[in-house]
Every structure is written in C-alpha cells, then in structure tokens.
C-alpha cells in the first residue's frame, strides 16, 4: 500500500515520537513516588466490574480511543462546556468508563497528590480490564503526563466501523502500528457488545454493486437472518455480542468468527478482505496456527503496550491533572 510523501512523513514522525517518548517510560514508574498506584487502579476497576461486568470492555475501548487521538495523553477525558472537546466528537459515541478513571484519580489524589497522571490511569485500567476478562496479565510502562489540548475535530482520525481494511491499515500505520497490531487489537472484540446503530448500514443500507442499497452480500445468509432478528431497521440501541458465541471469554474465537464470515461489524469482517491481514488472522485462528503458530495472548499484550506508547508526553511538555476532566 503506497502513500504520498506527506502522509509518509506524518506516519514516520508519529512513529519516532512514539518510540522516543516510550523510551522514557518504565515499568514500576510509581514504585517510590506512589507505591500503591497500580493496586489502587486495579481495586477500583475490580469494584466497578463487580456491579457492571460490561465496564471491562468499555475500559479497554477507552485506551484505544485515547491513544489514537493525539497519543496516550488523556485528552479524551476532558469535558468541554460548549461541545468542543475531543470527547464530544461522534466518533466517541457510546464511550464509557470515564467515571471509573475519575474514581481512581480521586483516590490516588488522597494518597499521592499530584503524582499519578490520568493518562497512566487509563493505561493501567485497560490492562486490568484485560486480565479481569480472562485475558493475559502483563506489565505496562508508566510515566506519561497529561496533555493540555482537547479539540473536537482531532477525533476525526479515529478508525471507523465502515473503514475498509486498507483504510484501517493506513490509520494504524499513522500511529506506528502494523498489520499484526491491527488484527490483534481488533481481536479485543473477543469481549463486549456493540449497538445496532453500528450495524444498520451493513444490514439495510449497504451500497450494492448493481445499484441500490440492501444487505452486505458478504454476510452468510443464515447469519444475516440472525443479525436482522436482533437489529430491526431503525433499532439503534439493542446490544449484540461482537464475538458470536463467546462474548464473555477472552480467546481467539473472534478471529475464527471473522475467518468464517461471522464478523459482526464491517471493520472486523474487512480484516478477511485484505491479503495482508488475512494471513495474520489465519496465523492465530487456523488449526495449525492454534497448535504451532504465534502465541496470541502474549502478542496481544505486546500490541497493547505498543499502542500505549503512541505519542506519550513526558518531561516538561505536559502536566499531572488534579481532575481528569479538566486542565489544571
């Protein structure tokens, strides 16, 4: 896949920024300045999930939405008064878990005032959410600072449910993430649900080759009937599992579903429409891949850490907010 000199330069600059900043992060950054930081975040996440298990995939999504816009700087947590903040962009529709981050921040401020950044809390909460859904436990480097900018239009760069595999690959590459990262991070859909809102076009308003609109012809007939029975025309709010038959277990079922034509949202299904991502999906979901192939859990953890290094702020370029929802 080619790119213009400008887009290539932007991608390289973002990658260098990510790599350069990540070199200043370290595992256990708060071991002396706030020894209970990581355990406090884990405790808050566990408590939140005890009353609402759906908050775990929401916290995982929150890291994605923060890091893909301006880098992992907690810009998505800022609340503006005139719908001008990043979180107000429609690309963030349905975003949840901000209250969990606020709760963790409030508790940490009583323990270690002005020490733990909101950006790090987002990363730690997502890491804990993965583990609490049965996924891998892994270390994440910390030491990020919070950003001082949050603009509505900045979130336009977020991947979209309607994006083709080529567009998805381009957007991930802009953050220094490759095709393998794209597949692995999309596999986070092994847990959680999506609203019928994100499926309406694919089920009822898909542009057809012969003209007109209808259902996406790539959806197997029986599966199409199943999806339509769950999401009637105009139904935007009903929730549907992203990983058919295994939405509560962190596993490779989502990739097998994508391979077999049972990807629920268009952007997941698109991963099996591109030669570059097909090979990655097959490497984790095929029979030989399951036995001899790459280790999915470790590779997923590695991609999470890699995403968490995009555009982080360290040194004198950021701040540690007192409240995650507003600049100091």
End-to-end CA gap in the chain: 42
At 145 the three-state DSSP class reads: strand
- Binding-site positions for Ca(2+): 66, 69, 71, 73, 75, 86, 190, 243, 251
Rounded Cα distance between 76 and 53, Å, is 22
User: Active site residue: 61, 65, 202, 256, which one?
Assistant: 65
Q: Does residue 62 sit in helix, strand or coil?
A: helix
Range of the domain at 122: 5-158
Q: Is residue 315 part of a domain?
A: no
323 three-class SS: strand
User: Binding site membership for substrate: which residues?
Assistant: 159
For the record, the structure tokens of 253 come out as 């079922």
What total number of domains does the chain contain? Answer: 2
Shared domain check, 152 and 9: yes
Report the CATH number at residue 91. 1.10.520.10
CATH number of the domain bearing residue 274: 1.10.420.10
Please enumerate in sequence order all residues whose Cβ is within 8 A of that of 327, keeping only pairs 6 or more positions apart, or say none: 78, 148, 319, 321
What pLDDT does 317 receive?
A: 87
* Pair 274, 293 in one domain: yes
Residue 316: inside a domain, yes or no? Answer: no
Residues in binding site: 66, 69, 71, 73, 75, 86, 159, 189-190, 243, 251
**Same domain flag for 84 and 27:** yes
Angle at 77 between CA 38 and CA 129, to 5 degrees: 40
Instruction: Based on the fold, state whether residues 113 and 244 are members of the same structural domain.
Output: no
The DSSP symbol for 146 reads: B
The parts of the chain modelled with pLDDT lower than 70 are 1-23, 287-294
Q: Is residue 311 in some structural domain? A: no
Handedness of CA 265, 267, 273, 278 (dihedral sign): negative
What's residue 81's pLDDT? Answer: 78
Predicted local confidence at residue 38, as pLDDT = 98
241 DSSP assignment: E
Catalytic residue list contains 65: yes
* Residue at 314 is within a domain: no
pLDDT digits (tens, 9 = 90+) for 233-249: 999 999 999 999 998 88
In a domain, 78, yes or no: yes
pLDDT at 20: 40
Q: Name beta bridge partners: 249.
A: none
pLDDT at 2: 41
What is the value of pTM for the model shown? Answer: 0.90
């Amino acid at each position: 896949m080619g790119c213009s000199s400008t887009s290539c330069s932007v991608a390289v600059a973002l990658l260098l920024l990510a790599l350069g900043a990540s070199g200043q992060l370290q595992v256990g950054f708060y071991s002396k300045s706030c020894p209970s930081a990581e355990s406090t975040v884990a405790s808050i996440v566990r408590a939140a999930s005890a009353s609402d298990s759906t908050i775990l995939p929401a916290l995982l999504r929150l890291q994605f939405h923060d890091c893909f816009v301006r880098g992992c700087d907690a810009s998505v947590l800022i609340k503006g008064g005139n719908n001008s903040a990043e979180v107000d962009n429609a690309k963030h529709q349905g975003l949840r878990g901000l209250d969990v981050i606020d709760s963790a921040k409030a508790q940490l401020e009583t323990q270690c005032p002005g020490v733990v950044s909101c950006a790090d809390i987002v990363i730690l909460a997502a890491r804990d959410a993965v583990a609490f859904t049965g996924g891998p436990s892994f270390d994440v480097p910390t030491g990020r600072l919070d950003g001082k900018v949050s603009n509505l239009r900045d979130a336009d760069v977020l991947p979209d449910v309607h994006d083709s595999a080529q567009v998805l690959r381009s957007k991930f590459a802009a953050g220094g993430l490759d095709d393998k990262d794209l597949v692995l991070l999309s596999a986070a859909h092994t847990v959680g649900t999506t609203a019928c809102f994100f499926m309406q076009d694919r089920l009822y308003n898909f542009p057809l080759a012969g003209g007109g609109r209808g259902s996406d012809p790539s959806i197997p007939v029986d599966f199409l009937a199943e999806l339509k029975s769950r999401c009637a025309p105009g139904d935007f709010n009903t929730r549907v599992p992203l990983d058919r038959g295994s939405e509560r277990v962190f596993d490779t079922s989502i990739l097998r579903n994508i391979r077999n034509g049972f990807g629920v949202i268009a952007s997941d299904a698109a991963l099996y429409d591109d030669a570059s991502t097909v090979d990655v999906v097959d490497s984790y979901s095929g029979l030989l891949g399951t036995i001899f192939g790459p280790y999915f859990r470790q590779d997923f953890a590695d991609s999470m850490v890699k995403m968490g290094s995009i555009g982080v702020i360290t040194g004198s370029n950021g701040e540690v907010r007192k409240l995650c929802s507003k600049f100091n």
